[in-house]
């Protein structure tokens, strides 16, 4: 299948590469031209839509999605009726619904299908994909999604995918903070972090988040698989959505302030495992 792919950042580049590995022809575009072996590069989002009936977008946030899909030189200037836009960015559910309405006015179908797993799973092609939209559209692109992911679940109408992603990002942020707080406590009490990790990872406190992030913290490795700045964006969208629908998010609000503090201290481009740096600053203990 010929697939358009717009947005070749930390996540988008390996996702596009996995589509090529699966045998698809990829027509790619990014404002910063980057190399994806086997992809054909277009000169604009519009040019991608001129060549492809299925267009995937993987962009930083809602304003970028609206610009790429609905703006001047965007997808909808050239997309033919019956085309499908799959936005795999993490954006506010309301923005996804707004873009879907603009697509529908042009006879274009849309799914919002954000992902979880960070760069390692984008590279491995084992992302968790949470989608919103019509079942018929989801079924039509399911095999394409599974070239990039280990699972793809239709969660409801357009916007549901990003609602689930916000829930995911709340859980991940709070979990990383809990690991940071608990391991800092045990370190300050004189227990080696590696011993704590080995002792609890197989019990109820064990989690995929701890398994992925605790070793990074112990190694002092904050190379971004998912940047603090991006997690701030997701928590902002979660808080905004919570305020709109009247859902209290006290833990999310607290983690937002922790991450804002880290950004102010220069850690915004680090992996979100650098939340531990907040606890190092509070306690004077590094582990």
- For residue 128, list its beta bridge partners: 116, 151
Give me the number of domains the chain comprises.
Answer: 2
Same domain as 9, residue 150? yes
Residue 266 is part of which domain span?
A: 163-283
What's the pLDDT tens digit per position in 80-122?
A: 999 999 999 999 999 999 999 999 999 999 999 999 998 999 9
Q: Please tell me whether residues 97 and 9 are part of one structural domain.
A: yes
The confidence score (pLDDT) of residue 225 equals 87
Q: Residue 231 belongs to a domain with what CATH number?
A: 1.10.1040.10
**Same domain for 153 and 168:** no
Averaged confidence pLDDT in the chain: 97
Active-site annotation, residues: 165
Q: What is the mean pLDDT of residues 209-222?
A: 97
User: For residue 55, what is the domain's CATH number?
Assistant: 3.40.50.720
- Return the pLDDT at 61: 96
Same domain, 141 and 171: no
Of 130, 157, 184, which one is at a domain's C-terminal end?
157
- Do 83 and 126 share a domain, yes or no? yes
Q: Where are the alpha helices (DSSP H) in the chain?
A: 12-21, 45-51, 62-70, 93-105, 118-124, 135-146, 160-188, 193-200, 208-219, 228-245, 250-264, 276-283
pLDDT for residue 133 = 98
Residues 70, 104: one domain? yes
Same-domain status, 268 and 221 = yes
Which of 114, 130, 157 finishes a domain?
Answer: 157
- CB-based contact 37:66 (threshold 8 Å): no
Which tokens hold the place of 95?
A: 């923005």
pTM of the model: 0.93
Say whether both 144 and 171 belong to one domain.
no
């Amino acid at each position: 299948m010929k697939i358009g792919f717009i947005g070749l950042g930390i996540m988008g580049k390996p996702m596009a590469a996995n589509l090529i590995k699966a045998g698809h022809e990829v027509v790619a575009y990014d404002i910063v031209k980057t190399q994806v072996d086997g992809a054909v590069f277009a000169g604009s989002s519009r040019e991608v839509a001129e060549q492809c009936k299925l267009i995937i977008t993987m962009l930083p946030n809602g304003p970028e999605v609206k610009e790429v899909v609905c703006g001047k030189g965007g997808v909808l200037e050239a997309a033919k009726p019956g085309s499908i836009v799959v936005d795999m960015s993490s954006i506010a559910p309301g923005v996804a619904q707004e873009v879907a309405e603009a697509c529908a006015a042009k006879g274009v179908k849309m799914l919002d299908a954000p992902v979880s797993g960070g760069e390692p799973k984008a590279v491995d092609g084992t992302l968790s994909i949470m989608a919103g939209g019509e079942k018929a559209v989801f079924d039509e692109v399911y095999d394409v999604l599974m070239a990039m992911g280990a699972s793809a679940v239709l969660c409801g109408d357009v916007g549901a995918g990003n609602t689930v992603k916000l829930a995911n990002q709340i859980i991940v942020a709070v979990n990383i903070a809990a690991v940071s707080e608990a391991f800092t406590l045990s370190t300050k009490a004189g227990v080696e972090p590696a011993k704590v990790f080995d002792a609890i990872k197989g019990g109820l406190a064990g989690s995929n988040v701890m398994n992925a992030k605790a070793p990074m913290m112990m190694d002092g490795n904050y190379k971004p698989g998912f940047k603090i700045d991006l997690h701030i964006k997701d928590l902002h969208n979660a808080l905004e959505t919570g305020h709109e629908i009247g859902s209290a998010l006290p833990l999310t609000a607290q983690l937002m302030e922790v991450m804002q503090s880290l950004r102010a201290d220069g850690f915004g481009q680090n992996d979100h495992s650098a939340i531990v740096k907040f606890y190092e600053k509070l306690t004077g203990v590094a582990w």
